[in-house]
Structures are given as structure tokens and as C-alpha cells.
Amino acid sequence: MNNPPYLTGNASVSIIMLKVLLALLPGVAAYVWVFGSGILVTLTLASLTALASEAVMLKLRNRPVMPFLLDGSALVTAWLLALALPPLAPWWLVVVGTLFAIVIAKQLYGGLGYNPFNPAMIGYAVLLISFPAIMTQWPAPLELAKAQLGFADQLHYIFGRILPEGVSLDAISSATPLDYLKTQLKLQHGFAEIAQAPIFGVLGGKGNEIVVGAYLLGGLYLVQQRIISWHIPTAFLLALVAMSGVFHLIAPAHYAGPAFHLFSGASMLCAFFIATDPISGPTTPKGKLIFAAGIGVLTWLIRSYGGYPDGVAFAVLLMNICVPLIDAYTQPRVFGHSK
Amino acid sequence: MISKLFKFHGGVHPPEHKLESTTTPIRPVALPKRLVLPLRQHMGNLPKVQVDIGEQVLKGQLLAAAEGMISAAVHAPTSGTIVAIDEQPIPHASGLPDVCITLEVDGEDRWIEHGPLDYRSLGKTEVIERLRQAGVVGLGGATFPSHVKLREDARHPVRTLILNGAECEPFITCDDMLMRERAAEIVQGIEIMQYLLGAERCIVGIEDNKPQAAQAMRAACAESAIPIEVAAVPTLYPGGGAKQLIKVLTGREVPSGKLPTEIGVQCFNVATAYTVHRFIHHGEPVISRIVTVTGNVAQPGNFEAPLGMAISELVQSAGGAGAGTQSFIMGGPMMGFALPFPQAPLVKATNCIIVASANMFPPPPPAMPCIRCTRCADACPADLQPQELYWFAKSDNFDKARDYHLFDCIECGCCSYVCPSRIPLVQYYRYAKSEIIALDRAKQAADLARERNELRLARIEREKQERAAKHAQKAAGAKAEAAGDDAKKAAIAAAMERAKAQKAEVAPQNTDNLAPAVQAEITEIDARRGEAAETQEKQGS
């Protein structure tokens, strides 16, 4: 009662994180619709691992456990990682990735508010580098899959890598559009020809474009709720469109167009949910534009020339490194100062 | 009519709570038995006491005269006897007492002789001097002596005179009610101010949540001999901050660290204009003010109360503090402070008393770490980066805090208000500011000491050289007879050698043969001293 202001608003970290989770729900629903309910298992697994490891780490670090568990940040990290993983990934992959994200990328750096890197992307990058084969093995969208797994079958597969009799891995999996594009371009096929493949839909990967659209919807909700500002999504998407657009115009056979880049891979998830992580991102408006544009350019570069099909995780982590510098050089003009 | 309004960055919309105290007109209060008048009710020099204990004084009589240019006088709010001149609790967040004059009220309320001033024939300098001894200060909260701001300055002529009736803080309604009820008198005060400053334009800025006040002021301004505009500015806290209001009305920013006159603007609170009018046209110095009493009281409202009245007694006039009252806040809930002593007296700065219960202002939950969400930066009316300042203040990185313009912070509390982690940001900034000021003072003192020491050493050196020169002169004169000179030199050298040896023997005595504990302590103290010197040097660089 001793220090003003005595009036405070009712914003809280928990509400912010809760709204982020809420904004992810359309994407999750679309995911289930397109790829089946396996993602729900992955989400649950990641959530439980995140909460448990967060609690243990807080205890070890002598920090209050409940307030930090309830802030919801661990769940957001868990969900983002889970949504970035292949839906039928083995259980241990989910657990290892989440543990890495929470224990090393977040808690060992000091917990909420102190992590210089996006924890979910650290978890993802570690898995991608360590287990590239599993990480690029995606199930085919249900409408394309030659065989479909029931929920019980999916559980068996996630926890024991056991497929029902008569169903082969090939029957349920397929290359992701980004992956397919990469291999086909290497084989000297033109983009227009590649895009005729059944895994491609109108804008991006068949089915995947629905998920991406749902992320966009959730993202717009976050902007409307002022949980995130317009700067990062806009700059990221514009940079991606600019890079892919220019190169597609110059050499349409060798480079996918902007629509494909926007609606494939983790573009939308990155634009509204990953790059917008406030803790590991810059704070100034101009800085946010630079940061997000950097991610957009790097994502396109890695997708087009790098060794991995998608570049979002590495692009985000690389730009995280630049955040202190970006902030320092983009300080806005202060009231009454000329600059 | 004002053509265009401008915007300042940020701001917040806290719940207003203004209706509670605007349902009844301004009420008078019963004369208290005793008034306690702090000498320091303004920014600037302490005024000089003009009365003795036991002296009978009349209402409006000068009790303490302004000392120097930046100072303001204190007058008796009613007639009575001076019973004490000593330290008493004052309404200050520190809880430290200050010198006050205690007046035992006789109840007769007898005035000294007083009457209107013909300010137009008196000469501006004389009017300013009279205002200085009338105790007129800014009643918006800063209590800066108004006569200083009313002087004409050839270097910075005031083209625009702004009257601040924005009253942006929640709960406070004293200016609102004053404008509703005494608009014509405020306007007369504005006319005097306009005359003294020679301003070309006068604008009254009122937040658009006070339509009645704006209406009353418009009507009164229409009657005025000079053109005065009334502008309804958007209700947005802290739109009543002088810098923010000036920006909204003129589109110009007061340069950092400069006064508004730098851009040809001068800004006063509407209540200040009212007191100028009361003094010039009626001869009444500042001895009372309108104060809002609201919150956990039965009859919230505005009161015209004599300065020096105990705040706890004033609260009685509003029906007394209700059950569950936890504290008395002076000022608004954003920038005010909880009174350490509710019996402290009403002063010129007291615009509002909020009787606060625990559920009105529940204590914030424990602060969470900053998540760099920059809601604070979005809300900051000074365009600062509060999240960076917080970081620097927390880690005692004061140089960085200064680089990031900590001293442009107006402590409005918008950042704390919006913070989802509930970090008491303003407290961190206050801490950093006070630390920086203390360090600056220490550095100044050290610099002064060093300078003195250097001067002293230079003097010693100079005297030595002068002596040497004198000796040399003498020696030159006596060179002829200096045959045994070499022998003398040898003798002197030998003597010096002996002295040195002796000194070496004597010097370590007091640190020889010490107990290990004592020796350790000395080493530690030396190390600390070294460190202190180092930090001082760092700050110096």
C-alpha cells in the first residue's frame, strides 16, 4: 500500500499465455481434421513433459513452483514444439525435444523472461540435427494416405512404433511439400511440373494449407487482442513474399512462388506464434520490423539453398542472436529530444 | 475554437471514479480549532518566519515571507494566536517532519485590511512582487511559485498561455468543480496572467469527460474582453501532464530538460488562475483551497478548506472514514502517495484525499519476471523504453539508465498500470534516479576535494620554488665566500641520509607486531578503500 500507482490494470502473464493457447486451437482442430488425432497425443505428451520438467527445475532452483507453472509459458512452448514435430513422431522424440526446450533453453538460462533463444525452436533444432530421418518422416494427409490409422493404431505407433498388420510405413507417410520440392528441384524438374504432384493443393501442400489458414485465423485474433503487434507478422510475411516473389519472377522454374512459401511449412506458425515470442525478440517497433524481415529472408534462403526442407527454426534462432544489437540501434526518439 | 488537436504517445484509460465526488457543490468546512502551517508548501527556498510565538494574527496576515526569487509566502488562514513554531508531521511520503507554524484559532475569523489591486497601473514588476508575497503557487500539484513563471522574459516571450483544466487523474474533481462553479473568476485570473505575460493566445484545455466544466468555461470566456479558447481534449491519462497537454494543444514538444517558455508557451493550472484573481481583485492571499475527499467516505465531494487543517479532520467533513479504511492517499491513485500521518495538515499541494479501503486498491500479486512484452513502452507518454530502464535500474547500471533518458520519466505510472508481470516499475525508476543524484553529489564533493588538494599542492610547490629562488639569489651574492661549500653540501647530504634512515625505522612502528586479526582488518579496509577509489574513478570517467 506504500507505492503508487495504486490502480493497476488486470493484465497478467497467465492471461496472455492463455490467449496464445486459445489462438492455437483452430490450428490444432484443422490439424486433427487433416492428419488425424495423433497430434493430440503429441500435444498431451509435450504438455505433461513441459509442466513436469518446469516444476522439477523450479524446485531445484529454489523458485516458487505454482506461480510459474500457472503462468502458462511452459504450455505455450510445449504446444509450439509439438505442432512443429511430425504428428506421429515417437513418444521419446517429443519428450527429448520438450526437455531440451524447458530445461536447457529456458530454465538453465534463468526461467521465464531470461531465455535469449526461443525455447521451442531450440528443442526443434536439436531434434532436427540429431534425428533428421524421423524429423522429416511426415504422415500423408488423410485424404492422400493409402491406409488410415485409427486412434488406437496411432497410439501403438507413437509408443511402440508398431503398425497394424498389412500397413507399411509408405502407405501412411509421404514427403512434405517443402521436402518434395527440394528433392524434385535437385532432380532438375521445374516448379510448375512439381506443383502438379498430388501432395500439392491450391496454395501449398494439400491439407496443410487448411492448417496454415487456421493458424492465420488464430494469429489475427492475437493481433486483434493486442497480444502481439502487427510489426512482426507483417514484416516476416512481406520479406518472405518479397524474396520468393523476386526469385520466382526471375526463374519461375527453379523457385517456388510466394503463395507456396506462405502456405507451406511453418510460415504462418512462425509469423504469428514463434517469431512473436516477446522474450527472445526485440522490443522496439523498428527493431521488430528488422528482426522479422531477417527471419523472412533467412527462412527463404535456408529453404532454397540450405540442407533442411524448412528454415524457420534456424532463421528464428539466428535472429535471436541479433536481438541485443537490433534493440540498441533502434531506440525510438524520446519525448522532447531531437534525433 | 481550436482548430486542431494533436496526440501524445501512449497513455492509459484507468477507471475514472469522478462521478462520486461531483454530485454535490463545493462545501465549506467548519473552522478547525487549530491549524498547522508548514513553511515549505512550495518548491524553492524556505520562507522567513515573520511572527513570534504568542502573537495574535489576523486572517490573511503574513506569517512567513518569501525568501529569494523562488519562494512563496505563507499566510494565516484565519485569526488566532501563534502557539508553536516547530517541527510537525507534514504530508510527505518520507514521513519526515518539517518546520510548521501552529495557529490556535480564535473563531472570530477577522481579516486584515485588504482590497483589490489596480494591477494595470501598478507596473508588472510590482504585481509580480505582490504575487510573490501572496503565496501564489501552482495548484496542479507541483506548487512551483507562480510569480516566477509570470515574469516577462525577453529571450523567451510567451506567445501561448495554456490553462490546465485537464485533471486527468482518476478520483480527483477539484478543478472540475471549481470550473463549474467559479468559471468567471478563473477567467478573470486568466486575464491578469495574459496581461502580465503579454501572451497572444490563451487556451484552456479540459478533458472531454468534464462537459459541464467546459460548458461553464466557454460561457465565461465568451464574456471576457480577451479571446480565450476552450479546448476539449481527449480523456487519456496523463493528458493533464503539462508537457502532454502542451503537445496536444500546440503539437509542439517541450525540449527535454527545458522549460515550456523555450517554445513560447507557459502553462498554469486553472485553480492557480483562480487564486491570482482572488488576490488581485480581492486582496486575499492563498489561505484555502478546494480539495476532493472521496473513496471510502459517506459523503464524498469537494470542500473549500483552510490550509493547515488536519487531513483526518477534513475527512470527517465528508462523513468520516468508512469501515475497512486502510490508508489515506493524497493526490490521485496514479501519482499520489499514502499519507504516513493522517493528522498531517492540508497544504497547497493537497488536491485530493482518497480514503482507501483494502478492496479499492488490492495489493498487487507478487511480481513476475519481465517478459519484454513492451506494453509499458506502448503506454509511456515520454516515449521511453521502460523495460530497458527497468533492467538497468534493477542491475544498478545507472550510466545506461541515464543514456536511455531515465530523467525524462515523469513517473506517471502508466507502465506499472499496464504491466502484466505487475512489476512496480515506477519504484525502480525512482530508486535509480535517487541513486544517480546521490552519486552525482558524491562525485561533485570528491571533485571539489581533489581540486582543493591540487590547489594546495600547487601552492606548496610555488612557495618552495619562491624560497629556492630567494636562496639562490642570496647564494649568488655570497658565492665568493663559498669556499667550504662542498664540505657543507656533504654535511647536509649526510644529515638527510640520517633523517631518512630514522624515518624508515619509525614509520612501520604502528603496523609492526600486530595481531593477525587486526592485520587482516587493516588489509581489508585498504582493499575497500582501493575499491571505492576505483568506483569513484569509474564514475568520473
Neighbouring CB atoms inside 10 A of B4's CB total 8
CA distance A83 to chain B (A): 23
* Domains recognised in chain B with CATH numbers: 19-29+134-295 (3.40.50.11540), 368-464 (no CATH)
Q: What is the dihedral angle through the alpha carbons of A51, A52, A54, A59, rounded to the nearest 10 degrees?
A: 140
Contact flag A336-B427 (C-beta cutoff 8 Å): no
- The per-residue pLDDT for range B420-467, each reduced to its tens digit, is 999 999 999 999 999 999 999 999 999 999 999 999 999 999 999 999
Residue % of chain A over a pLDDT of 90 = 65
Cis peptide before B238 (omega within 30 of 0): yes
* pLDDT number for residue A147: 74
* pLDDT number for residue B511: 47
Contact flag A8-B422 (C-beta cutoff 8 Å): yes
Using an 8 Å CB-CB cutoff, list chain B residues near A338: 255
Neighbouring CB atoms inside 10 A of B461's CB total 10
Confidence label for A237 from pLDDT (cuts 50, 70 and 90): very high
- The per-residue pLDDT for range A36-79, each reduced to its tens digit, is 888 999 999 999 999 999 999 999 999 999 999 999 999 999 99
Confidence label for B540 from pLDDT (cuts 50, 70 and 90): very low
Which distant-in-sequence residues (6+ apart) come within 8 Å of A256 by Cβ? A181, A191, A195, A244, A248, A264
Between A309 and B482, where is the model more confident? A309
Which distant-in-sequence residues (6+ apart) come within 8 Å of B345 by Cβ? B35, B36, B37, B38, B88, B90, B91, B100, B307, B308, B309, B310, B311
Nearest to A7 among B253, B256, B333 (CB): B333
Residue % of chain A over a pLDDT of 70 = 99
| Angstrom distance (rounded) from CA B205 to CA B273 | 13
Strands B97-105, B288-295: parallel, antiparallel or unpaired by DSSP? unpaired
Q: Using CA of residue B414, residue B417, residue B419, residue B425, what is the dihedral sign?
A: positive
CA distance B417 to chain A (A): 4
- The per-residue pLDDT for range A157-195, each reduced to its tens digit, is 888 888 888 787 777 777 777 777 777 887 788 877 777
Q: Are B282 and B305 in contact (CB under 8 A)?
A: no
| Angstrom distance (rounded) from CA B164 to CA B205 | 5
Q: Does A327 touch chain B (CB under 8 A)?
A: yes
| Angstrom distance (rounded) from CA B308 to CA B344 | 8
Residue % of chain B over a pLDDT of 90 = 83
* pLDDT number for residue A208: 83
Nearest to B374 among A7, A113, A283 (CB): A283
Confidence label for B509 from pLDDT (cuts 50, 70 and 90): very low
CA distance A33 to chain B (A): 33
- The per-residue pLDDT for range A98-137, each reduced to its tens digit, is 999 999 999 999 999 999 999 999 999 999 999 998 888 8
| Range from A197-211, B101-115, B322-336, B376-390 carrying the lowest mean pLDDT | A197-211
Question: Residue B337 pairs with which residues in a beta bridge?
Answer: B330
| Range from A259-268, B348-357, B490-499 carrying the lowest mean pLDDT | B490-499
Using an 8 Å CB-CB cutoff, list chain A residues near B247: 335
Q: Using CA of residue B310, residue B315, residue B318, residue B319, what is the dihedral sign?
A: negative
Cis peptide before A5 (omega within 30 of 0): yes
* pLDDT number for residue A219: 97
- Per-residue pLDDT at A205 exceeds 90: no
Q: Does A339 touch chain B (CB under 8 A)?
A: no
CA distance A296 to chain B (A): 21
* pLDDT number for residue B502: 67
- Per-residue pLDDT at B531 exceeds 70: no
Angle at B271 between CA B266 and CA B276, to 5 degrees: 75
Helix/strand/coil (H/E/C) assignment for every residue in A301-339: HHHHHCCCCCCHHHHHHHHHHHHHHHHHHCCCCCCCCCC
Strands A138-139, B62-65: parallel, antiparallel or unpaired by DSSP? unpaired
State whether residue B158 is helix, strand or coil. Answer: coil
Confidence label for A319 from pLDDT (cuts 50, 70 and 90): very high
- The per-residue pLDDT for range B69-101, each reduced to its tens digit, is 999 999 999 999 999 999 999 999 989 999 999
Closest by Cα among A112, A100, A109, A39 to A74 = A112
Which distant-in-sequence residues (6+ apart) come within 8 Å of A73 by Cβ? A13, A17, A112, B371
- The per-residue pLDDT for range B371-397, each reduced to its tens digit, is 999 999 999 999 999 999 999 999 999
Q: Are B271 and B423 in contact (CB under 8 A)?
A: no
CA distance B216 to chain A (A): 30
| Angstrom distance (rounded) from CA A43 to CA A82 | 5
B4-9 contact pairs (CB < 8 A, 24+): B4/B251, B5/B231, B5/B233, B5/B234, B5/B248, B5/B249, B6/B247, B6/B248, B6/B249, B6/B250, B6/B251, B7/B247, B7/B248, B8/A335, B8/B239, B8/B243, B8/B244, B8/B247, B8/B248, B8/B381, B9/A335, B9/B380, B9/B381, B9/B383
| Angstrom distance (rounded) from CA A154 to CA A139 | 11
Confidence label for B512 from pLDDT (cuts 50, 70 and 90): very low
State whether residue B87 is helix, strand or coil. Answer: strand
Strands B80-89, B56-57: parallel, antiparallel or unpaired by DSSP? antiparallel
Mean pLDDT (chain A, rounded): 91
Using an 8 Å CB-CB cutoff, list chain B residues near A112: 368-369, 371
| Angstrom distance (rounded) from CA B65 to CA A81 | 72
Instruction: Tell me the mean pLDDT in the region B191-218.
Output: 97
Interface probe, candidates A14, A54, A291, A334, chain B, greatest B C-beta count within 10 A: A334
| Angstrom distance (rounded) from CA A235 to CA A282 | 13
Q: Scanning every residue of chain B, which has its alpha carbon at the shortest distance from the alpha carbon of A1? A: B363
- The per-residue pLDDT for range B44-53, each reduced to its tens digit, is 999 999 999 9
Q: Scanning every residue of chain B, which has its alpha carbon at the shortest distance from the alpha carbon of A67? A: B368
Q: Does A284 touch chain B (CB under 8 A)?
A: yes
Using an 8 Å CB-CB cutoff, list chain A residues near B363: 1
Mean pLDDT (chain B, rounded): 91
Between B431 and A153, where is the model more confident? B431
| Angstrom distance (rounded) from CA B11 to CA B237 | 5
Confidence label for B182 from pLDDT (cuts 50, 70 and 90): very high
State whether residue B335 is helix, strand or coil. Answer: coil
- Per-residue pLDDT at B513 exceeds 60: no
Using an 8 Å CB-CB cutoff, list chain B residues near A335: 8-9, 243, 247, 253, 256, 381-384, 408
Nearest to A5 among B256, B334, B363 (CB): B334
Q: Are B186 and B270 in contact (CB under 8 A)?
A: yes
Strands in B228-351 per DSSP E: 228-233, 265-269, 288-295, 301-306, 325-330, 337-338
- Integer-rounded Cα Rg, in Å, for chain A is 21
Helix/strand/coil (H/E/C) assignment for every residue in chain A: CCCCCCCCCCCCHHHHHHHHHHHHHHHHHHHHHHHCCHHHHHHHHHHHHHHHHHHHHHHHCCCCHHHHHHCCHHHHHHHHHHHHCCCCCCHHHHHHHHHHHHHHHHHHHCCCCCCCCCHHHHHHHHHHHHCHHHHCCEECCCCCCCCCCCHHHHHHHHHHCCCCCCCCHHHHEECCHHHHHHHHHHCCCCHHHHCCCCCECCCCECCHHHHHHHHHHHHHHHHHCCCCCCHHHHHHHHHHHHHHHHHHHHCCCCCCCHHHHHCCCCHHHHHHHHCCCCCCCCCCHHHHHHHHHHHHHHHHHHHHHCCCCCCHHHHHHHHHHHHHHHHHHCCCCCCCCCC
Q: What is the dihedral angle through the alpha carbons of B530, B532, B534, B540, rounded to the nearest 10 degrees?
A: -150
Interface probe, candidates A1, A2, A3, A6, chain B, greatest B C-beta count within 10 A: A6
* pLDDT number for residue B364: 84
Confidence label for B357 from pLDDT (cuts 50, 70 and 90): very high
- DSSP code of residue B9: S
Across the A/B interface, how many CB contacts are shorter than 8 Å? 135
Contact flag A336-B408 (C-beta cutoff 8 Å): yes
Using an 8 Å CB-CB cutoff, list chain B residues near A332: 383, 385
* pLDDT number for residue B535: 55
Contact flag B417-A333 (C-beta cutoff 8 Å): no
* pLDDT number for residue A302: 94
Contact flag B12-A3 (C-beta cutoff 8 Å): no
Q: Are B199 and B159 in contact (CB under 8 A)?
A: yes
Angle at A80 between CA A74 and CA A82, to 5 degrees: 100
- Per-residue pLDDT at A330 exceeds 60: yes
Confidence label for A297 from pLDDT (cuts 50, 70 and 90): very high
CA distance B325 to chain A (A): 12
C-alpha cell at position A187: 532432380
Using an 8 Å CB-CB cutoff, list chain A residues near B424: 3
- Per-residue pLDDT at B532 exceeds 90: no
Q: ipTM of this predicted complex? A: 0.91
Confidence label for B316 from pLDDT (cuts 50, 70 and 90): very high
Contact flag A331-B385 (C-beta cutoff 8 Å): yes
| Angstrom distance (rounded) from CA A47 to CA A120 | 12
- Per-residue pLDDT at B483 exceeds 60: no
* pLDDT number for residue B306: 98
Instruction: Tell me the mean pLDDT in the region B408-422.
Output: 96
* pLDDT number for residue B530: 59
| Angstrom distance (rounded) from CA B138 to CA B147 | 10
Q: Are B220 and B184 in contact (CB under 8 A)?
A: yes
Amino acid identity at A317: L
